[in-house]
């Protein structure tokens, strides 16, 4: 078996994307191992999911740090100590600073529940994203895996999956449809990273 990519997952919430990555590691379809799961939120369901899977967890509460840089420095230290090669943001509700990006250049990825560049940036999180899609009357939405840079939801797109917007949708129904696809494309994108396919052309998006 080839060497497994050591990933660190950062999550603030329920952790269903984390779970999909855990499951794909376990069934062997992902050549990766989760070295550590870090949350800024002591109550994150993601920490419970990781603990149940026997994965090292660490809670680093941002409220205990005087600045974003200090918080990021502590997170980077924990990731380095765990030997992390790829940082996977999975519902991580903190802005990443340049300190962080410099520590893991082109090695931080995120998933966003919309077809970026639409419905990305400040204020577009959770149900607000889906509400905006519905208000605009779009016929489709989806999810996007992208590299993280110093701007919100802005780095290079690695893959996208579209879903239809259906009559009678509310933000919750649309969110659930998008989330099911997130659970498929995020592990797939990580597998691309594990295989060293870093230069993914625009026409190779995951449709
Ligand atoms: C997902 O919708 C993801 O796109 C966004 O945050 C949500 C996290 O959900 N970045 P979960 O904690 O993985 O269930």
pLDDT tens figures, 142-158: 999 999 988 888 899 99
Q: Which of 93-97, 113-117, 129-133 has the lowest mean pLDDT?
A: 93-97
Based on the residue annotation, tell me whether 26 is a catalytic residue of this protein: no
pLDDT above 70 as % of the chain? 94
What's the confidence (pLDDT) of residue 207?
A: 39
User: With 50 as the cut, is the pLDDT of residue 203 above it?
Assistant: no
Pocket lining: 91 vs ligand 1, CB cutoff 6 Å: yes
CB 30 within 8 A of CB 190: yes
User: With 70 as the cut, is the pLDDT of residue 199 above it?
Assistant: no
pLDDT tens figures, 29-82: 999 999 999 999 999 999 999 999 999 999 999 999 999 999 999 999 999 999
Pocket test for ligand 1, best of 113, 171, 172 (most atoms within 8 A of CB): 113
Pocket lining: 112 vs ligand 1, CB cutoff 6 Å: yes
Strands of the sheet containing 32-39, edge to edge, are 57-59, 32-39, 5-10, 86-89, 108-112, 140-147, 157-164
Average pLDDT over the chain, rounded to an integer: 93
What's the confidence (pLDDT) of residue 86?
A: 97
CB 74 within 8 A of CB 82: no
Largest pairwise CA distance in the chain: 49
CB 155 within 8 A of CB 148: yes
3-state secondary structure of 33: strand
Q: Which of 70-74, 103-107, 148-152, 190-194 has the lowest mean pLDDT?
A: 148-152
- For residue 12, which atom of ligand 1 is closest to its CA? 12
């Amino acid at each position: 078996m080839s060497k497994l990519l050591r990933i660190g997952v950062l999550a603030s919430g329920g952790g269903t994307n984390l779970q999909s990555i855990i499951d794909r590691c376990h069934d062997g379809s992902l050549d990766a191992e989760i070295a550590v799961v870090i949350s800024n939120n002591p109550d994150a369901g993601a920490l419970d999911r990781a603990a149940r899977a026997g994965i090292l967890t660490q809670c680093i509460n941002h409220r205990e740090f005087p600045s974003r840089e200090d918080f990021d420095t502590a997170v980077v230290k924990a990731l380095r100590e765990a030997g992390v090669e790829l940082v996977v943001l999975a519902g991580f509700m903190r802005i990443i600073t340049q300190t962080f990006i410099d520590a893991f250049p082109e090695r931080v990825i995120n998933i966003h529940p919309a077809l970026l560049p639409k419905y990305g940036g400040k204020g577009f999180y959770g149900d607000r994203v889906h509400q905006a899609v519905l208000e605009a009357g779009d016929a489709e939405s989806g999810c996007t895996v992208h590299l993280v840079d110093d701007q919100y939801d802005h780095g290079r797109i690695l893959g996208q999956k579209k879903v239809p917007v259906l009559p009678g949708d509310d933000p919750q129904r649309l969110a659930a449809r998008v989330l099911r696809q997130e659970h498929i494309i995020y592990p797939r994108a990580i597998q691309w990273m594990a295989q060293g396919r870093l230069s993914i052309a625009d026409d190779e998006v995951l449709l």
